[in-house]
Amino acid sequence: MVSRDPSPGERAVARCNQLGVPPFSDETGLLYRPWLGPGFVATVEAVAQWMREAGMSVREDAAANLIGRYEGTTPDAPALLFGSHLDSVRDGGRYDGMLGVIAAIEVVAGFHAHGERFPFAIEIIGFGDEEGSRFPVTMLTTRAVAGVLEEHDPNAAFAELCDANGINVQQALAGMGLTPRGMMTARRRREDVLAYVEAHIEQGPVLEAEGRALGVVSGIAAQRRFEIRLHGQAGHAGTMAMSLRRDALTAASEMVLAVDRVASEAQGAEGLVATVGSLRPWPGVVNVVPGDVTFTLDVRAGTERQRDDAVEAIITAMGDIAARRSIELDLIPRENLAATPCDSRLLGLMERAVAQVTGQSARVLVSGAGHDAMIMARLAPMVMLFIRCEKGISHNPAEAVLPADVDDTIAALTAFVRLFAGN
Ligand code: GLV
Ligand code: MN
Ligand code: MN
Ligand code: MN
Protein backbone atom coordinates (compact mmCIF):
# COMPACT_ATOMS: atom_id res chain seq x y z
CA MET A 1 0.00 0.00 0.00
CA VAL A 2 1.31 3.47 -0.89
CA SER A 3 1.13 5.81 2.06
CA ARG A 4 0.51 9.48 1.36
CA ASP A 5 0.91 12.65 3.34
CA PRO A 6 -2.25 13.78 5.14
CA SER A 7 -4.22 16.53 3.39
CA PRO A 8 -4.28 19.92 5.14
CA GLY A 9 -7.81 19.14 6.36
CA GLU A 10 -6.78 15.75 7.73
CA ARG A 11 -3.82 17.32 9.49
CA ALA A 12 -6.02 20.05 10.99
CA VAL A 13 -8.52 17.49 12.32
CA ALA A 14 -5.69 15.35 13.73
CA ARG A 15 -4.25 18.38 15.51
CA CYS A 16 -7.61 19.29 17.07
CA ASN A 17 -7.95 15.67 18.21
CA GLN A 18 -4.44 15.73 19.67
CA LEU A 19 -5.43 18.78 21.72
CA GLY A 20 -8.53 17.04 23.07
CA VAL A 21 -6.76 15.07 25.79
CA PRO A 22 -4.28 15.78 28.65
CA PRO A 23 -1.93 17.62 28.88
CA PHE A 24 -4.10 19.90 26.72
CA SER A 25 -7.21 19.19 28.79
CA ASP A 26 -7.33 19.89 32.54
CA GLU A 27 -9.33 16.71 33.14
CA THR A 28 -8.74 13.12 32.12
CA GLY A 29 -11.48 11.39 30.16
CA LEU A 30 -13.05 14.62 28.95
CA LEU A 31 -11.99 17.88 27.31
CA TYR A 32 -11.96 20.89 29.61
CA ARG A 33 -9.61 23.69 28.65
CA PRO A 34 -10.44 26.78 30.69
CA TRP A 35 -8.62 30.08 30.17
CA LEU A 36 -5.19 30.20 31.88
CA GLY A 37 -5.37 26.63 33.18
CA PRO A 38 -2.51 24.14 32.67
CA GLY A 39 -4.21 22.65 29.57
CA PHE A 40 -4.54 26.12 28.10
CA VAL A 41 -0.86 26.86 28.68
CA ALA A 42 0.19 23.55 27.07
CA THR A 43 -2.13 24.26 24.13
CA VAL A 44 -0.65 27.70 23.55
CA GLU A 45 2.80 26.10 23.36
CA ALA A 46 1.71 23.44 20.85
CA VAL A 47 -0.23 25.84 18.63
CA ALA A 48 2.63 28.37 18.74
CA GLN A 49 4.96 25.68 17.41
CA TRP A 50 2.59 24.90 14.53
CA MET A 51 2.39 28.62 13.75
CA ARG A 52 6.20 28.82 13.59
CA GLU A 53 6.34 25.81 11.27
CA ALA A 54 3.87 27.64 9.01
CA GLY A 55 6.31 30.54 8.66
CA MET A 56 4.84 32.84 11.28
CA SER A 57 6.46 34.83 14.04
CA VAL A 58 4.67 34.24 17.33
CA ARG A 59 3.93 36.27 20.43
CA GLU A 60 1.56 36.29 23.37
CA ASP A 61 -0.16 39.58 24.09
CA ALA A 62 -0.95 41.24 27.43
CA ALA A 63 -4.25 39.32 27.61
CA ALA A 64 -2.58 35.91 27.08
CA ASN A 65 -3.90 35.64 23.53
CA LEU A 66 -1.63 33.75 21.14
CA ILE A 67 -0.81 35.67 17.95
CA GLY A 68 1.02 34.40 14.88
CA ARG A 69 2.05 36.81 12.13
CA TYR A 70 2.91 36.09 8.50
CA GLU A 71 4.49 39.21 7.06
CA GLY A 72 3.25 40.88 3.90
CA THR A 73 5.37 42.12 1.02
CA THR A 74 6.39 45.11 3.16
CA PRO A 75 7.26 45.00 6.85
CA ASP A 76 4.77 46.46 9.33
CA ALA A 77 1.91 46.25 6.82
CA PRO A 78 -1.60 46.26 8.33
CA ALA A 79 -3.01 42.80 8.93
CA LEU A 80 -5.89 40.64 7.84
CA LEU A 81 -6.78 38.83 11.08
CA PHE A 82 -8.02 35.28 11.39
CA GLY A 83 -9.06 34.03 14.79
CA SER A 84 -11.17 31.99 17.14
CA HIS A 85 -10.78 30.69 20.68
CA LEU A 86 -8.48 28.20 22.38
CA ASP A 87 -10.62 27.63 25.48
CA SER A 88 -13.40 25.04 25.74
CA VAL A 89 -16.49 24.41 27.79
CA ARG A 90 -16.37 21.56 30.31
CA ASP A 91 -16.83 18.20 28.58
CA GLY A 92 -16.78 20.06 25.28
CA GLY A 93 -15.94 19.07 21.72
CA ARG A 94 -12.53 19.23 20.07
CA TYR A 95 -13.43 21.60 17.21
CA ASP A 96 -15.40 24.46 18.79
CA GLY A 97 -13.02 27.41 18.45
CA MET A 98 -9.89 25.35 17.95
CA LEU A 99 -10.70 24.38 14.36
CA GLY A 100 -10.88 28.04 13.30
CA VAL A 101 -7.36 28.62 14.59
CA ILE A 102 -5.87 25.39 13.27
CA ALA A 103 -7.50 25.71 9.81
CA ALA A 104 -6.15 29.26 9.50
CA ILE A 105 -2.64 27.95 10.25
CA GLU A 106 -3.05 25.54 7.31
CA VAL A 107 -4.03 28.48 5.08
CA VAL A 108 -0.83 30.32 6.00
CA ALA A 109 1.22 27.12 5.69
CA GLY A 110 -0.04 26.87 2.09
CA PHE A 111 1.03 30.44 1.27
CA HIS A 112 4.37 29.90 3.02
CA ALA A 113 5.07 26.71 1.05
CA HIS A 114 4.78 28.69 -2.20
CA GLY A 115 6.37 31.90 -0.94
CA GLU A 116 3.08 33.69 -1.66
CA ARG A 117 2.81 37.05 0.08
CA PHE A 118 0.27 39.86 0.01
CA PRO A 119 0.37 43.63 0.41
CA PHE A 120 -0.92 42.98 3.95
CA ALA A 121 0.24 40.73 6.75
CA ILE A 122 -1.88 37.79 7.88
CA GLU A 123 -2.27 37.26 11.61
CA ILE A 124 -3.94 34.43 13.46
CA ILE A 125 -5.23 35.03 16.98
CA GLY A 126 -6.07 32.23 19.40
CA PHE A 127 -8.29 34.01 21.95
CA GLY A 128 -8.30 33.02 25.60
CA ASP A 129 -11.79 33.16 27.07
CA GLU A 130 -14.62 33.05 24.56
CA GLU A 131 -16.60 30.45 26.48
CA GLY A 132 -16.65 31.98 29.94
CA SER A 133 -16.15 28.43 31.20
CA ARG A 134 -13.86 29.34 34.09
CA PHE A 135 -14.89 32.80 35.32
CA PRO A 136 -18.47 34.13 35.19
CA VAL A 137 -17.61 36.51 32.34
CA THR A 138 -16.74 35.97 28.74
CA MET A 139 -14.57 37.40 25.96
CA LEU A 140 -12.41 39.63 28.14
CA THR A 141 -9.42 38.73 25.98
CA THR A 142 -11.29 39.56 22.77
CA ARG A 143 -12.47 42.85 24.26
CA ALA A 144 -8.88 43.65 25.17
CA VAL A 145 -7.74 43.20 21.54
CA ALA A 146 -10.73 45.13 20.16
CA GLY A 147 -9.96 47.99 22.56
CA VAL A 148 -13.37 47.83 24.28
CA LEU A 149 -12.42 46.20 27.59
CA GLU A 150 -12.12 49.51 29.42
CA GLU A 151 -15.51 50.70 28.15
CA HIS A 152 -17.00 47.32 29.16
CA ASP A 153 -15.53 47.37 32.65
CA PRO A 154 -13.87 50.74 33.42
CA ASN A 155 -12.73 49.70 36.90
CA ALA A 156 -11.49 46.26 35.89
CA ALA A 157 -13.99 44.79 38.37
CA PHE A 158 -13.59 41.49 36.52
CA ALA A 159 -10.27 41.10 38.38
CA GLU A 160 -12.17 40.00 41.51
CA LEU A 161 -14.37 37.35 39.88
CA CYS A 162 -13.57 33.83 41.05
CA ASP A 163 -13.55 30.42 39.42
CA ALA A 164 -15.03 27.33 41.11
CA ASN A 165 -11.85 26.96 43.20
CA GLY A 166 -11.95 30.51 44.52
CA ILE A 167 -9.09 31.74 42.31
CA ASN A 168 -9.85 35.18 40.91
CA VAL A 169 -8.95 36.59 37.49
CA GLN A 170 -6.19 38.72 38.97
CA GLN A 171 -4.53 35.71 40.60
CA ALA A 172 -4.85 33.59 37.45
CA LEU A 173 -3.30 36.36 35.35
CA ALA A 174 -0.50 36.84 37.91
CA GLY A 175 0.46 33.21 37.31
CA MET A 176 1.32 34.26 33.75
CA GLY A 177 3.04 37.50 34.80
CA LEU A 178 0.00 39.54 33.64
CA THR A 179 -2.38 42.02 35.27
CA PRO A 180 -6.05 42.95 34.70
CA ARG A 181 -5.27 46.58 33.87
CA GLY A 182 -2.32 45.52 31.74
CA MET A 183 -4.70 43.43 29.62
CA MET A 184 -6.08 46.65 28.20
CA THR A 185 -2.76 47.30 26.46
CA ALA A 186 -3.46 44.33 24.16
CA ARG A 187 -5.70 46.69 22.14
CA ARG A 188 -4.98 46.89 18.44
CA ARG A 189 -4.95 50.14 16.49
CA ARG A 190 -7.71 50.37 13.89
CA GLU A 191 -5.24 51.36 11.19
CA ASP A 192 -3.29 48.12 11.80
CA VAL A 193 -6.27 45.82 11.21
CA LEU A 194 -7.96 45.49 7.82
CA ALA A 195 -10.57 42.86 8.65
CA TYR A 196 -11.38 39.96 10.99
CA VAL A 197 -12.30 36.52 9.64
CA GLU A 198 -13.47 33.62 11.81
CA ALA A 199 -14.07 30.07 10.63
CA HIS A 200 -16.10 27.98 13.10
CA ILE A 201 -18.12 24.79 13.15
CA GLU A 202 -21.79 25.59 12.60
CA GLN A 203 -22.92 24.10 15.93
CA GLY A 204 -26.32 23.62 14.31
CA PRO A 205 -28.00 21.25 11.82
CA VAL A 206 -28.66 23.43 8.74
CA LEU A 207 -25.61 22.67 6.58
CA GLU A 208 -25.79 18.94 7.17
CA ALA A 209 -29.51 18.86 6.41
CA GLU A 210 -28.87 20.65 3.12
CA GLY A 211 -25.86 18.54 2.16
CA ARG A 212 -23.43 21.45 2.20
CA ALA A 213 -19.90 21.51 3.64
CA LEU A 214 -19.73 25.28 4.16
CA GLY A 215 -21.93 28.28 4.88
CA VAL A 216 -21.42 32.01 5.22
CA VAL A 217 -22.73 33.81 8.30
CA SER A 218 -24.94 36.87 7.85
CA GLY A 219 -24.94 37.83 11.53
CA ILE A 220 -24.83 36.64 15.14
CA ALA A 221 -27.75 36.57 17.60
CA ALA A 222 -28.07 38.96 20.54
CA GLN A 223 -27.18 37.49 23.92
CA ARG A 224 -27.56 38.26 27.63
CA ARG A 225 -26.29 36.32 30.60
CA PHE A 226 -27.09 36.64 34.31
CA GLU A 227 -26.09 35.01 37.55
CA ILE A 228 -29.02 34.51 39.93
CA ARG A 229 -28.52 34.10 43.66
CA LEU A 230 -31.37 32.89 45.84
CA HIS A 231 -31.30 33.12 49.60
CA GLY A 232 -33.78 31.21 51.75
CA GLN A 233 -33.13 29.39 55.00
CA ALA A 234 -31.21 26.18 55.52
CA GLY A 235 -32.78 23.69 57.90
CA HIS A 236 -32.95 20.09 59.07
CA ALA A 237 -34.52 17.84 56.45
CA GLY A 238 -36.15 15.71 59.12
CA THR A 239 -37.60 18.35 61.38
CA MET A 240 -38.49 21.40 59.32
CA ALA A 241 -42.20 21.29 58.44
CA MET A 242 -43.02 21.75 54.77
CA SER A 243 -45.21 24.76 55.53
CA LEU A 244 -42.33 26.57 57.26
CA ARG A 245 -39.63 26.01 54.67
CA ARG A 246 -37.86 28.71 52.69
CA ASP A 247 -36.25 26.21 50.34
CA ALA A 248 -34.07 27.99 47.76
CA LEU A 249 -33.92 24.92 45.52
CA THR A 250 -37.67 24.44 45.12
CA ALA A 251 -37.86 28.14 44.25
CA ALA A 252 -35.03 27.71 41.73
CA SER A 253 -36.79 24.69 40.24
CA GLU A 254 -39.92 26.72 39.56
CA MET A 255 -37.75 29.47 38.06
CA VAL A 256 -35.99 27.06 35.70
CA LEU A 257 -39.37 25.91 34.41
CA ALA A 258 -40.48 29.54 34.02
CA VAL A 259 -37.38 30.21 31.85
CA ASP A 260 -38.26 27.23 29.66
CA ARG A 261 -41.91 28.30 29.41
CA VAL A 262 -41.18 31.93 28.46
CA ALA A 263 -38.79 30.90 25.68
CA SER A 264 -40.99 28.06 24.39
CA GLU A 265 -44.21 30.03 24.34
CA ALA A 266 -42.96 33.35 22.92
CA GLN A 267 -44.73 34.14 19.67
CA GLY A 268 -42.80 35.26 16.61
CA ALA A 269 -39.43 35.75 18.32
CA GLU A 270 -36.99 34.27 15.81
CA GLY A 271 -34.20 32.23 17.35
CA LEU A 272 -35.34 32.94 20.92
CA VAL A 273 -33.70 30.48 23.31
CA ALA A 274 -33.20 30.59 27.07
CA THR A 275 -31.07 28.25 29.15
CA VAL A 276 -30.20 27.55 32.76
CA GLY A 277 -26.88 25.73 32.33
CA SER A 278 -25.51 25.70 35.85
CA LEU A 279 -27.32 25.37 39.18
CA ARG A 280 -25.60 24.96 42.51
CA PRO A 281 -27.51 24.39 45.77
CA TRP A 282 -25.83 25.10 49.08
CA PRO A 283 -24.82 23.20 51.13
CA GLY A 284 -25.86 20.48 48.67
CA VAL A 285 -26.20 17.53 51.03
CA VAL A 286 -28.93 14.96 51.51
CA ASN A 287 -30.32 16.01 54.87
CA VAL A 288 -30.32 19.81 54.64
CA VAL A 289 -33.09 21.94 53.15
CA PRO A 290 -31.08 24.05 50.67
CA GLY A 291 -30.69 27.57 52.01
CA ASP A 292 -28.97 29.07 48.97
CA VAL A 293 -28.87 28.45 45.25
CA THR A 294 -26.83 30.10 42.52
CA PHE A 295 -27.75 29.55 38.90
CA THR A 296 -27.03 30.99 35.48
CA LEU A 297 -29.37 32.34 32.82
CA ASP A 298 -28.48 32.71 29.13
CA VAL A 299 -31.02 34.31 26.74
CA ARG A 300 -30.53 34.81 22.99
CA ALA A 301 -32.64 35.99 20.07
CA GLY A 302 -32.32 37.45 16.59
CA THR A 303 -32.89 41.00 17.85
CA GLU A 304 -32.19 42.79 21.11
CA ARG A 305 -35.89 43.67 21.40
CA GLN A 306 -37.03 40.03 21.29
CA ARG A 307 -34.29 39.01 23.70
CA ASP A 308 -35.05 41.83 26.16
CA ASP A 309 -38.80 41.18 26.10
CA ALA A 310 -38.06 37.57 27.08
CA VAL A 311 -35.63 38.66 29.81
CA GLU A 312 -38.26 40.98 31.23
CA ALA A 313 -40.90 38.22 31.27
CA ILE A 314 -38.45 35.84 32.97
CA ILE A 315 -37.49 38.38 35.62
CA THR A 316 -41.15 39.12 36.38
CA ALA A 317 -41.88 35.41 36.77
CA MET A 318 -38.84 34.95 39.03
CA GLY A 319 -39.91 37.89 41.21
CA ASP A 320 -43.38 36.37 41.67
CA ILE A 321 -41.95 32.95 42.58
CA ALA A 322 -39.46 34.46 45.03
CA ALA A 323 -42.15 36.55 46.73
CA ARG A 324 -44.54 33.61 47.07
CA ARG A 325 -41.80 31.45 48.62
CA SER A 326 -40.23 34.18 50.82
CA ILE A 327 -36.89 33.90 49.03
CA GLU A 328 -34.47 36.77 48.50
CA LEU A 329 -33.51 37.17 44.86
CA ASP A 330 -30.35 38.78 43.54
CA LEU A 331 -29.92 39.16 39.78
CA ILE A 332 -26.41 39.98 38.56
CA PRO A 333 -25.97 40.92 34.87
CA ARG A 334 -22.94 39.13 33.42
CA GLU A 335 -23.04 39.66 29.67
CA ASN A 336 -24.88 41.81 27.15
CA LEU A 337 -24.01 41.41 23.47
CA ALA A 338 -25.90 43.13 20.69
CA ALA A 339 -26.93 41.25 17.55
CA THR A 340 -23.96 41.62 15.22
CA PRO A 341 -24.24 41.66 11.42
CA CYS A 342 -21.27 40.58 9.30
CA ASP A 343 -19.76 43.16 6.96
CA SER A 344 -21.63 43.06 3.64
CA ARG A 345 -18.57 43.51 1.41
CA LEU A 346 -16.64 40.74 3.17
CA LEU A 347 -19.74 38.55 3.15
CA GLY A 348 -19.86 38.95 -0.64
CA LEU A 349 -16.19 37.97 -0.93
CA MET A 350 -16.70 34.94 1.31
CA GLU A 351 -19.72 33.86 -0.74
CA ARG A 352 -17.57 34.02 -3.87
CA ALA A 353 -14.76 32.08 -2.17
CA VAL A 354 -17.19 29.34 -1.07
CA ALA A 355 -18.78 29.18 -4.54
CA GLN A 356 -15.32 28.80 -6.13
CA VAL A 357 -14.52 25.84 -3.89
CA THR A 358 -17.86 24.04 -3.74
CA GLY A 359 -19.20 24.90 -7.19
CA GLN A 360 -22.52 25.89 -5.60
CA SER A 361 -23.84 29.28 -4.56
CA ALA A 362 -23.09 29.73 -0.88
CA ARG A 363 -25.72 29.16 1.81
CA VAL A 364 -26.00 32.22 4.06
CA LEU A 365 -27.19 31.62 7.63
CA VAL A 366 -27.51 33.26 11.05
CA SER A 367 -25.41 32.17 14.04
CA GLY A 368 -27.30 31.47 17.26
CA ALA A 369 -23.98 30.76 19.01
CA GLY A 370 -21.78 33.58 20.23
CA HIS A 371 -18.32 34.12 18.77
CA ASP A 372 -15.20 36.25 19.22
CA ALA A 373 -16.32 37.85 15.96
CA MET A 374 -19.10 39.70 17.84
CA ILE A 375 -16.48 41.67 19.72
CA MET A 376 -13.96 41.94 16.88
CA ALA A 377 -16.67 43.59 14.76
CA ARG A 378 -16.16 46.62 17.03
CA LEU A 379 -12.58 46.92 15.75
CA ALA A 380 -12.78 45.98 12.08
CA PRO A 381 -15.13 44.68 9.36
CA MET A 382 -15.92 41.06 10.21
CA VAL A 383 -17.09 37.93 8.43
CA MET A 384 -17.53 34.28 9.45
CA LEU A 385 -17.38 30.97 7.61
CA PHE A 386 -19.34 28.01 9.00
CA ILE A 387 -18.28 24.38 8.65
CA ARG A 388 -20.79 21.53 8.74
CA CYS A 389 -20.64 19.44 11.92
CA GLU A 390 -22.20 16.05 12.48
CA LYS A 391 -25.88 16.23 13.48
CA GLY A 392 -25.28 19.87 14.46
CA ILE A 393 -23.96 18.68 17.82
CA SER A 394 -21.63 20.99 19.76
CA HIS A 395 -20.67 21.74 23.37
CA ASN A 396 -20.62 17.97 23.58
CA PRO A 397 -17.77 15.44 23.22
CA ALA A 398 -19.66 13.94 20.25
CA GLU A 399 -18.77 17.01 18.16
CA ALA A 400 -17.42 15.78 14.78
CA VAL A 401 -16.36 17.18 11.39
CA LEU A 402 -15.36 15.55 8.10
CA PRO A 403 -11.71 16.09 7.12
CA ALA A 404 -12.89 16.69 3.52
CA ASP A 405 -15.03 19.59 4.78
CA VAL A 406 -11.98 21.02 6.52
CA ASP A 407 -10.07 20.77 3.23
CA ASP A 408 -12.89 22.83 1.68
CA THR A 409 -12.66 25.28 4.59
CA ILE A 410 -8.94 25.79 4.06
CA ALA A 411 -9.45 26.17 0.29
CA ALA A 412 -12.27 28.70 0.82
CA LEU A 413 -10.23 30.77 3.29
CA THR A 414 -7.29 30.67 0.87
CA ALA A 415 -9.55 31.86 -1.96
CA PHE A 416 -10.93 34.56 0.35
CA VAL A 417 -7.46 35.95 1.06
CA ARG A 418 -6.70 36.15 -2.67
CA LEU A 419 -10.05 37.82 -3.40
CA PHE A 420 -9.47 40.22 -0.51
CA ALA A 421 -6.12 41.12 -2.08
CA GLY A 422 -7.94 41.84 -5.33
CA ASN A 423 -6.44 38.85 -7.13
C1 GLV B 1 -20.20 30.09 23.50
O2 GLV B 1 -19.84 29.13 22.87
C3 GLV B 1 -21.49 30.67 23.32
O4 GLV B 1 -21.98 30.75 22.19
O5 GLV B 1 -22.07 31.01 24.34
MN1 MN C 1 -18.45 27.21 22.43
MN1 MN D 1 -16.81 28.62 19.78
MN1 MN E 1 -19.30 30.39 21.17
For every residue of 118-160, DSSP letters joined together read -SSEEEEEEES-SS--SSS---HHHHHHHT-HHHH-TT-GGGG
Mutate to test the pocket of ligand 1, among 35, 86, 130 (most ligand atoms within 8 A of CB): 130
Residue 186: name the closest of 142, 138, 144, 129 by CA: 144
Query: Based on the domain organization, do 25 and 52 belong to the same domain?
Result: yes
Query: Based on the domain organization, do 20 and 95 belong to the same domain?
Result: yes
336 annotated ligand binder: no
131 lines ligand 1 (CB under 6 A): yes
CATH number, position 153: 3.40.630.10
Ligand number with the minimum distance to the CA of 126: 3
At 68, the amino acid letter reads G
CA of 351 to the centre of ligand 2 (A): 24
Q: Which atom of ligand 1 is nearest to the CA of 223?
A: 5
Predicted complex ipTM: 0.95
Q: Which atom of ligand 1 is nearest to the CA of 131?
A: 1
Which secondary-structure segment (H or E) carries 334? strand 328-337
Mark which of 315, 337, 359 sits at the end of a domain.
Answer: 337
370 lines ligand 1 (CB under 6 A): yes
152 annotated ligand binder: no
Mark which of 310, 337, 364 sits at the end of a domain.
Answer: 337
92 lines ligand 1 (CB under 6 A): no
Query: Based on the domain organization, do 281 and 402 belong to the same domain?
Result: no
300 annotated ligand binder: yes
Q: How many domains does the chain have?
A: 2
**Is residue 2, in this structure, part of any structural domain at all?**
no
**pLDDT tens over the chain, length 423 residues:** 678 999 999 999 999 999 999 999 999 999 999 999 999 999 999 999 999 999 999 999 999 999 999 999 999 999 999 999 999 999 999 999 999 999 999 999 999 999 999 999 999 999 999 999 999 999 999 999 999 999 999 999 999 999 999 999 999 999 999 999 999 999 999 999 999 999 999 999 999 999 999 999 999 999 999 999 999 999 999 999 999 999 999 999 999 999 999 999 988 888 999 999 999 999 999 999 999 999 999 999 999 999 999 999 999 999 999 999 999 999 999 999 999 999 999 999 999 999 999 999 999 999 999 999 999 999 999 999 999 999 999 999 999 999 999 999 999 999 999 999 997
Query: Based on the domain organization, do 345 and 318 belong to the same domain?
Result: no
**Is residue 66, in this structure, part of any structural domain at all?**
yes
Query: Based on the domain organization, do 258 and 139 belong to the same domain?
Result: no
Mark which of 337, 366, 401 sits at the end of a domain.
Answer: 337
Region at 281 (left for phi over 0; alpha for psi -120 to 50; beta for the rest): beta
231 annotated ligand binder: no
CA of 98 to the centre of ligand 3 (A): 8
Query: Based on the domain organization, do 302 and 252 belong to the same domain?
Result: yes
200 annotated ligand binder: yes
Do you find a cis peptide bond into 283, omega within 30 degrees of 0?
Answer: yes
Alpha carbon distance 198, 80 (integer Å):
11
Q: Alpha carbon of 411 to those of 61, 106, 202, 401, 416: distances in Å?
A: 29, 10, 17, 16, 9
Query: Based on the domain organization, do 253 and 234 belong to the same domain?
Result: yes
Alpha carbon distance 152, 74 (integer Å):
35
Q: In terms of residue numbers, what domain contains 383?
A: 8-221+339-420
